[in-house]
Amino acid sequence: MNKIYNKIVEEIKDSKRKILIVAVTKNVGIDSTNEIIRDGATAIGENRIEAFACKEASLQRCEKHFIGQIQSGKIKRIVKLFDCIQSVSSIKHLKKINDEAISQNKDIRVLLQFNISEETQKGGFDPRDTKQIISDIGEIKGVRMVGVMGMATDTDDTEIIRKQFRRLKCIRDEFRLVYPEMVELSMGMSNDYRIAIEEGASMLRIGSVLFD
């Protein structure tokens, strides 16, 4: 049994909230991926389509989340291979995902990624554009938009991390005023998941601590 995974599960139980652990297996082989699923993980996260496609046929049953940067030319495969896309950061990509989901008759969930740290190397919508995005997504009917995702600054300053997570929660709450179904708040990774739990995360994307 993966002791770290079980430890995180117990921490979630202590929070008395339902939180999904997305085990990030992007650099992990099929054997270790299946092992974490056997240990209880119900969802995995991947960001490299080609690498994931190689192990998909041998993968045990689980939810498959795409968490990587989206390229227009790979959207058709992303929609085919995954159940949830967490990293949608442009209206153009969202519309193409919508069209592909309709074409493939695929029920797929989508989270909108926001650049809450405002770091240029990170993808995501600009939080200052939230009102415009709320307006722009009104005609998207072929996918289920279920929430928002973001990554905090990689820092030891917990107050910076906490402030950014609170910002993402405020963005989520703003969307929910118009789209009540957008309940998911995907934030928190190996180094800051405890803060994310405290700040209301409904999904954690955890990788390195599970497989070190």
Return the SS3 of 18: coil
The pLDDT tens digits along the chain (212 residues) read 689 999 999 999 999 999 999 999 998 999 999 999 999 999 999 999 999 999 999 999 999 999 999 999 999 999 999 999 999 999 999 999 999 999 999 999 999 999 999 998 899 999 999 999 999 999 999 999 999 999 999 999 999 999 999 999 999 999 999 999 999 999 999 999 999 999 999 999 999 999 97
pLDDT of amino acid 2: 87
Please provide the DSSP assignment of 108-144 as one string. -EEEEEE-TT--TTS--B-GGGHHHHHHHGGG--SSE
Return the SS3 of 106: coil
pLDDT of amino acid 29: 94
pLDDT of amino acid 212: 76
Nearest to 77 by CA among 110, 94, 52: 52
pLDDT of amino acid 204: 98
Read off the amino acid at residue 162: R
CATH of domain 3-12+19-211: 3.20.20.10
pLDDT of amino acid 39: 94
Read off the amino acid at residue 59: L
Q: How far apart are CA 178 and CA 182, in angstroms?
A: 9
Residue 125's φ and ψ, nearest 5 degrees, are -65, 150
On the CB side of 170, CA atoms within 13 Å amount to 11
What are the residue boundaries of the structural domains of the chain, listed by start?
3-12+19-211
Q: How far apart are CA 171 and CA 161, in angstroms?
A: 16
Q: Which residues contact 140 (CB under 8 A, 6 or more apart)?
A: 94, 95, 98
Read off the amino acid at residue 157: D
pLDDT of amino acid 13: 93
Please provide the DSSP assignment of 25-67 as one string. -TT--HHHHHHHHHTT--EEEE--HHHHHHHHTTPPS-EEEE-
Structure tokens at 58: 């041998």
